C-alpha cells in the first residue's frame, strides 16, 4: 500500500483512472475548497464506519464551482490528509493534487453534467447490492421512496469505471436522486454532502426492510401505490426545520 500511495503521489497510479486522467494542472487550493475537502473526507470515513463500504470500495465527491473534489483511487479514507485534496474539472481533467481520482469518476461527472447536484455518494452497501441482483426496481416498501423521487430503479450491469455504466446509471436516475447498480451498489446525489449521504443511508435501510419483510415464509409485504409514494415525496419536501 505504501508503494501504491507513493506511485499515486507521483501521478503514476495504476488502473483505468490513471490512463484516462491527464497530468495535473497547476493551481493552488482555493479557500472554499478547504472545508469542502474536510467534509468530503469525513463523509467518506462515515461510509466505512456505518458499514456502507468495505475498505476503499465506495467513493464520494462534492462540487465547488466548476471543480469536483473527489476521493482518490485506492487510498484508505483514514489516511487522507489536507495535502491529499484531489479535484477535477467537469471534463475530468485533474486540476488539484497528484493522486489519481476514483475509477468511478465517469458516474460522478455524468451526474454533475446533467443535474444540479452538489454532492454524490456511491457505496457498496450489502442489502442494497443484494436487492440489485433480485429485482428491476426496489418495491415501494416504505414512503421514504418519495425522498428519492419515486420507485428506486436498478441500472443494468456494466463494468465499473466505464462510460457504459455511467450511461446506464443516468437512465435509472431519470427524475430520481438515487438508484441501485446491478451487482454493484448504490449511488445517490443531493445539494449537499449531508443530503446525498442521508439518501444513501435511507436507500440501504429500505432495501434491508424489503429483504426482511419478503423473507417471511407464506407472507407477502404490502406495498405503497405510486400515488402514495408521490404524496409522501411532496410532504417530505417540506420536512424539517426551515431557515
155 pairs with which residues across the strands? 181
Active-site entry in 16, 104, 227, 231: 104
Phi, then psi, of 112 in degrees rounded to 5: -65, -35
Q: How far apart are CA 90 and CA 70, in angstroms?
A: 12
**Sign of the CA dihedral 195, 198, 203, 209?**
negative
Please state whether beta strands 185-190 and 67-70 pair in parallel, antiparallel, or not at all (unpaired): unpaired
Active site residue 104: yes
Cβ proximity of 176 and 150 under 8 Å: yes
Length of the chain: 243
CA atoms of 103 and 5, how far apart (whole Å): 15
Q: What backbone torsions phi and psi does residue 38 show, to the nearest 5 degrees?
A: -60, -40
C-alpha cell at 42: 469525513
Q: Which of 85, 105, 99 is nearest to 35 (CA)?
A: 85
Rounded Cα distance between 52 and 173, Å, is: 20
Among 122, 177, 131, smallest CA distance to 154 is for 131
CA distances from 89 to 4, 202, 229 (A): 24, 30, 36
Catalytic residue numbers read: 104
Amino acid at each position: 500500500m505504501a508503494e501504491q500511495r507513493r506511485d499515486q503521489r507521483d501521478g503514476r497510479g495504476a488502473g483505468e483512472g490513471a490512463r484516462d486522467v491527464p497530468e495535473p494542472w497547476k493551481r493552488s487550493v482555493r479557500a472554499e475548497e478547504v472545508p469542502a475537502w474536510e467534509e468530503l473526507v469525513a463523509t467518506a470515513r462515515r461510509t466505512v464506519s456505518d458499514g456502507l463500504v468495505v475498505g476503499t470500495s465506495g467513493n464520494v465527491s462534492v462540487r465547488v464551482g466548476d471543480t469536483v473534489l473527489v476521493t482518490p483511487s485506492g487510498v484508505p479514507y483514514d489516511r487522507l490528509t489536507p495535502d491529499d485534496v484531489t479535484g477535477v474539472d467537469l471534463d475530468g481533467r485533474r486540476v488539484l493534487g497528484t493522486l489519481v481520482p476514483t475509477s468511478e469518476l465517469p458516474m460522478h461527472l455524468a451526474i454533475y453534467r446533467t443535474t444540479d447536484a452538489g454532492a454524490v455518494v456511491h457505496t457498496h452497501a450489502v442489502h442494497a447490492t443484494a436487492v440489485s441482483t433480485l429485482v428491476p426496481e426496489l418495491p415501494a416498501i416504505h414512503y421514504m421512496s418519495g425522498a428519492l423521487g419515486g420507485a428506486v430503479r436498478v441500472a443494468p450491469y456494466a463494468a465499473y469505471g466505464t462510460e457504459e455504466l455511467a450511461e446506464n446509471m443516468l437512465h435509472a436516475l431519470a427524475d430520481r436522486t438515487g438508484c441501485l447498480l446491478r451487482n454493484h451498489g448504490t449511488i445517490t446525489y443531493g445539494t449537499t454532502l449531508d443530503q446525498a449521504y442521508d439518501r444513501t443511508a435511507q436507500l440501504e435501510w429500505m432495501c434491508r426492510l424489503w429483504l426482511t419483510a419478503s423473507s417471511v415464509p407464506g407472507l407477502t409485504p404490502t406495498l405503497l401505490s405510486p400515488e402514495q409514494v408521490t404524496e409522501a415525496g411532496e410532504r417530505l419536501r417540506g420536512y424539517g426545520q426551515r431557515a
